A and B are shown apart, each in its own frame.
Chain A
Amino acid sequence: MDIVLEARHIDKYFTKPVEFHVLKDINLEVKKGEFTSVMGKSGCGKSTLLYILSTMDTDYKGELFLNGELTTGLDSNRLAHIRNKYIGFVFQFHYLLSEFSVLENVMLPAKKLGEKSVEEIKEDAMLKLKMLEIDNLAMKRANRISGGEKQRVAIARALINDPLILMGDEPTGNLDSQNAENVFRIFKKLSDEQGLSLLVVTHDIDFADKTDRIILMGDGTILD
C-alpha cells in the first residue's frame, strides 16, 4: 500500500516556560486508506505531533513527507496550499464562520483552491452534505444549528477538496455518545468506501478500539 504520510526523526522542544523535550525521535507512517488513531495521556505530545504532521507547526527537527514529497522547510504560502489541497481537518471545536451559511462554510476551502467553478463547488458541497445527511441544513446560518450538526458540517468542509488524509484532534471530544458514534461511523465509511486515510488523536478508548491501528504515545515517544 502507498504511504501517504511519513515522519522521520521528529524532535520538538518547547522553550516556554522552560525548555522541554516534547517529542523524541518520532518515526511514523500512515498508509493510504488506513484509519489510524493516536492515544496517550494528556501532555504526552500527541496533539503536538498532530500539528507538526499537519504542517501548521513548522518549528521542529526532522523530516516530514506528504505523498512522498518533502514538506519540511517549505515556505508558508506553499504549506498553506498543501493544507488546502491535501489535508482535511476536524477539530474538537467546529470552527465554522458563524456569519456564513452552512453551504458557504463548506465551499470556502474549495473557493480558495480555485480549481473548479463556483457552480461545480456548490454541487460538490451539496454532495458532501448529502453524504453526511445534513443537506437540509445547507442554507441555514452556521450558528443556528446544533453541536452535532456543526461537527458534521466541519467534516464536510474538511472533505470538500477530496484530501489525501483527514486529520482529527479529538473530533468527538465535545460530542455526546450518540453523536460521537455518528462521527465514527462517518469516518469508518470514508475509510472503507473511499480509501481515505485518517489520523485521529483521541482520548476515547471505545473510539480508538474500532480503528485499524492504534498508535500509543507516552512521554514524547511512540510506545507501540
Chain B
Amino acid sequence: MEVPILKQGHYLIASIQSALTDADLSQLREALIERVGRFRARGVIVDVTALDVMDSFAVRTLRDIAHMARLRGAETVIVGIQPEVAFAMVQLGLTLKGVSTALDLEEGLAFLDRQTQLRIERGSGRIDRG
C-alpha cells in the first residue's frame, strides 16, 4: 500500500491510510527523502493517525525519515499518534528521541511554520536540536 504524499507550499504531507508492511515503510522513507530535494521542501509531516500499532520497525523508520530529512535541510514532525499507540510504544521501550511530534495535522503545520520562520530569522543556518 503506497502512502500518498501531498505537497502543500514548502511542506510535504505523508498521510498514512492503513496498516503498512515493513517494505511499505521503507518505500515511504525513500519517497519522502527524494521528494524533499525534488520539491525543495522545508518541512515534512507524517500523519500516523490511522496507524493502530507502532512497533520497533515503524518507529525506527520514522526516526530515520526525520534524521535523513534534516540532513537534506527539512524539518520533520510526526502527527497523530493515538493514545493506545503511545501507551504501547512506551511499554515497548520505543522513543522518538530527537524527532518532533505534534497532536494533529493542524498543530504539525503550526509547528513547522514556527520552525521555518525561526530559520529564516536566523539566516541560512540550520536548526540543530538534540
**A, B: real partners:** no
B residues near A, CB below 8 A? none
